Chain A
Amino acid sequence: MKLKNFYAAHESFILGGGFIVALLTIWESIPLWYTLSKGMALFFTTPSRVTVTFSELLINGEIEKHFYVSAIAFLAGLGLSIVVGLPLGLIMGRSATLENLLDPYVTACNATPRIVFLPLLILWFGIGIWSKIVIVFAGAVFPLLINTYTGVKNVNRVLVNVVRSFGANEWQVMKIVVLPNSVPYIIAGLRLAIGRAILGVVVGEFFGSSQGLGYMIASAASNYKVDVVFVGVAIFMALSVILTLAVKQLESRLASWRPETAKTF
């Protein structure tokens, strides 16, 4: 009876965790009940082999080396996009003329997968860290920019007028009303930006690169080291899940009043 209550209280957790465990178990046991042909076995790996490879790579410092390079590109690109995106978003939200002038470019760039610029960026910035930083920046800046100016535009007119009536200048309006109102939007933008930034790091390092986790995946795939591919993919998965969930927590704390329509990453 107690067990039943326990299950009822934690049903979502048990079912969710159980599904993942079951999936991993089935994956692990495939070689036991099905013999793969030689060709397919080349592309096949099991979770246990991936774990073993992971610890090996961790011990010999391989992961640390690549991780460091990727992390720098990620942080620099994301930082740059925050530095550029937030102020520009605030200004665009406050000035209708500037918004009309810039909005077509922003919309077009946001709809286009930024990845298409990668060959151009490699040509301009070389195969070093700079082309990665720029592609991360290009991916992350638009969600931030768009969300910031949506937040600024959705500010309550009455509040702005009240503050103005009491003699506030533009800067004070910004500080007292506009910024606090846009914080939830900015955080939502940040969550999207993190996803785009990680995408930029991965793809940026696939091509014309000699270091970084993306490079590790691409070179392992062309050498048929499937274990290493999955190690890289698992690291990226863990990082994105942790980062996006952390921002999501922040978001739901700051913006519990804002209805969420559907998950977006």
Chain B
Amino acid sequence: MRAKKYFSEHRRLWLALCSFFFLFTAWELMLTYIFPVNPFFFTKPSLIAAAFKEQFQGTKLWHDLAVSSQAFLWGFSFAVIVGIPVGLVMGWRKRVEYSLDPFLTALYASPLVALAPLFIIVFGVGVLGKAALVFLLAVFPFIFNAFAGVKSTDSLLINVIRSYGGSEKDLYLKVILPSTMPYIIAGARLAIGRGLVGVIVGEFYAASEGIGFAITQAGDTYRLPDMFVGIIILSLIAVGLTELMRKLELMVAPWRTTDEVR
């Protein structure tokens, strides 16, 4: 009876685990017994696991990860430093909003990755080109979320601060920034996804190191298990970072429901 209760409480987790287990077993069995496996085009979990072990013991994987994350962090940090102030000013000053909104919306809506070849050729295949690409892609979610955050600030709270003689600094630090924070974190979640696209595309296009390069290289030489190692690591990083942001969002703003579009 207790087992049943336990199961129904953690139903979600158990079903997820079961479905993972089932998928990997089915994949493994299918390629081992039903299809004669052609290692050039297909691979199976046991081979991927072996590749994982081998890569974890080597140094190349860690080096690639370090190179990619360096580019990502530079671009992302600049996106934070530039994006948030621009968004705050846009939300606070009507004229700035009118001037910048159409231009930035057009850029946000368009696939700026299309500039990747140009960026790589102008800035080189090193960290700079990729970081510039990451910045370009990741800055817009910060701008528009900070903007929306300021816009949604309760004007009653602003009036209260003003009525009690609070200074402009109090206004920003005690009302606008706290109410904008959850929006900014939501923006960071979107920016992570876009930034990763920037790193990957930059490295696919031209690179000599980095995780994106490792994936294409494995693909070009038909080493499918190694390729899956790269793909799985990237997914884990992406899922980990986005879930972290989601948790942070709930922590900073528990009152907000998060059923918005992902």
Contact = CB atoms under 8 A, between A and B. Distances in A.
A241 B110 contact: yes
Contacts of A195: 109, 111
Q: Is the interface of A mostly helix, strand, loop or mixed?
A: helix
A100 B261 CA distance: 19
B196 to A, nearest CB: 5
A221 B260 contact: no
Contact of B114 (A23, A236, A263): A236
Interface string A82-117: 000000000000000100111111011111110111
A17 B193 CA distance: 31
Contacts of B108: 263, 265
Contact of A103 (B16, B100, B243): B16
Interface in A222-265: 222, 224, 226, 229, 232-233, 236-237, 240-241, 244-245, 260-265
Contacts of A217: 114, 117
Contacts of A218: 117, 205
A202 interface: yes
Interface residues on A, range: 35 or more
B19 A202 contact: no
Contacts of A113: 193, 196-197, 200, 234, 238
A240 B98 CA distance: 21
A43 interface: yes
A122 B111 CA distance: 21
B190 A240 contact: no
B243 to A, nearest CB: 8
Nearest to B183: A262
A112 B211 CA distance: 14
A167 to B, nearest CB: 30
Interface string B81-116: 000000000000001011111110111111101111
Nearest to A214: B114
A120 B150 CA distance: 43
A185 B224 CA distance: 38
Contact of A233 (B114, B222, B242, B259): B114
A64 to B, nearest CB: 19
A198 B224 CA distance: 27
Interface string A46-75: 000000000000000000000000000000
Pairs of residues from A and B, 6 with the lowest C-beta to C-beta distance, nearest first: A221-B117, A119-B219, A262-B148, A237-B110, A16-B102, A100-B15
13 contacts: A15-B99, A101-B18, A103-B16, A110-B262, A111-B242, A116-B235, A123-B222, A150-B261, A207-B204, A217-B117, A261-B152, A262-B148, A264-B141
Interface of B: 11-12, 15-16, 18-20, 41, 95, 97-103, 105-111, 113-118, 120-122, 141, 144-145, 147-149, 152, 183, 186-187, 190, 193, 196-197, 200-201, 204-205, 212, 215-216, 218-220, 222, 224, 227, 230-231, 234-235, 238-239, 242-243, 259-262
Given A111-B243, A262-B183, 19 more contacts: A12-B98, A16-B102, A97-B15, A111-B242, A112-B231, A113-B193, A115-B197, A115-B200, A115-B201, A119-B220, A120-B224, A123-B224, A124-B41, A146-B262, A203-B116, A222-B117, A233-B114, A245-B109, A263-B144
